[in-house]
Amino acid sequence: MHKAAKTLITLALLATFGGAAWLAFDRTAPSALPPALTGRPAQTVQLKGLIALDVEPYFKDPRVIEALAQKGFQVDVTRIGSRDMAARAVPGQAPDFFFPSGVVAANQIGDAARKSNIGTTAYSPFYTPMVIASWTPVAQVLAANGMAKETQPKVWSLDFGKLAQAMLERKRWNQLKSAGAYDVNKSILVSTTDVRRSNSAAQYLALTTHAINGGEVVSDRAAAQKAAQRAAELFKRQGYQENYVNGNFDDYVSIGMGKTPLAFIYENQMVSYALAKKGVAADMVLMYPQPTIFNKVVFVASSEKAKALGEALSTDPTLQRLAVDHGFRIGDTAHFVQVAKAAGLAVEERLSQVVDPPSFELMGEMIDVVAAEMGR
């Protein structure tokens, strides 16, 4: 056979074989590709968990889903209230993990699990401080009255003890010195969510009772009852309160200074808002209560296989940085500040005046006191 003809036949056979191989490969579903080609572990660990509202956007993020898959996790989550999770710590019915908002709810879950002989391991992958979202004119009035100080452009420290005293004394904005910037005949109050249902409002209760208790964490029942009775007034005078944390922040953003001069929120709400909007309004500012409380989003593993997920959320660089993209703080504070700054939001880098909430038993009793007062 002519040499050229042999070459053509050989090329044709190679093309036919290669095309058939490509078609066979192309029909393979991505999820069924060999692990070596996907970069995923050969075995997938399937987990079910209960999560708080705070972390729901994180678990719905396609980047997080993919990062978890790369580490061999397929996670199915259901959102419920943090305080409702402890009731699910039942033998044979408990999920693989709980991810509540706040140490108090996490301790409550741990206590319920122990009583049910369920072993748990807790992790704190990320956190956010409690802050007050406000406006430049409001902050300036508070500063003129010795309650606030601008520590850097658009970042303010707030003497929470002095603010609490002004609120308990039923002071009005137009009674304050140099009130021209916010001269309204309206009570000085911090807007919160409903303490009967919301973790952020419970954090406000913890911080307020700390101020009422002479700058000490409430540590006994008598002090708890007394402080909660006084704090209840501040909740009652607010009027209607949203049941969920986003409702309070939505009022701040959409209705503005007239309705919400001071809004008690998670810092990550403002950061994630700035990231989504690529900035904030020119007169929006963050005020950091002195002292404040850190809201830790605590991962409670209630099965052996969930421990690996707790470790991954706490240590994996990709999962950690994705948490920052949802406004949370991680151990790498410099990265958090850099992300917030790039989004057009100034934040306080180092927070040194931080207190712990009371025990979950005392918090429960104080919430009950406030709830009873609000029902009257």
Please tell me the class of the 35-128+296-342 domain. alpha beta
List the one residue out of 265, 268, 260 whose CA is nearest residue 245.
Answer: 265
Q: Are strands 45-51 and 73-79 parallel, antiparallel or unpaired?
A: parallel
Pairing of strands 148-152, 97-99: unpaired
Distance from C-alpha of 212 to C-alpha of 218, rounded to nearest angstrom:
9
pLDDT tens over the chain, length 376 residues = 444 444 433 434 334 434 433 333 333 333 344 444 455 666 899 999 999 999 999 999 999 999 999 999 999 999 998 989 999 999 988 999 999 999 999 999 999 999 999 999 999 999 999 999 999 999 999 999 999 999 999 999 999 999 999 999 999 999 999 999 899 999 999 999 999 888 999 999 999 999 999 999 999 999 999 999 999 999 999 987 776 667 889 989 998 898 899 999 999 999 999 999 999 999 999 999 999 999 999 999 999 999 999 999 999 999 999 999 999 999 999 999 999 999 999 999 999 999 999 998 999 999 999 999 988 6
Q: Where in the chain is the domain with CATH 3.40.190.10?
A: 35-128+296-342, 129-295+349-374
Burial of residue 189 (number of CB atoms within 10 Å: 0-12, 13-18, 19+): buried
Main-chain phi, psi angles of 195, to 5 degrees: -65, -20
Query: 290: closest CA among 143, 191, 147?
Result: 147
CATH architecture assigned to 129-295+349-374: 3-Layer(aba) Sandwich (3.40)
Token pair in block for residue 324: 């920052």
The answer to whether the bond into 41 is cis (omega within 30° of 0) is no
Distances (CA, A) of 33 to 19, 37, 75, 78, 259: 19, 6, 20, 29, 55
Q: CA–CA separation, 79 vs 246, rounded Å?
A: 14
Do residues 328 and 126 lie in contact, with contact meaning Cβ atoms separated by under 8 Å? Answer: yes
Please state, in angstroms and rounded to a whole number, the distance separating the CA atoms of residues 210 and 219. Answer: 10
- pTM comes to 0.86
Question: What is the residue type of 119?
Answer: G
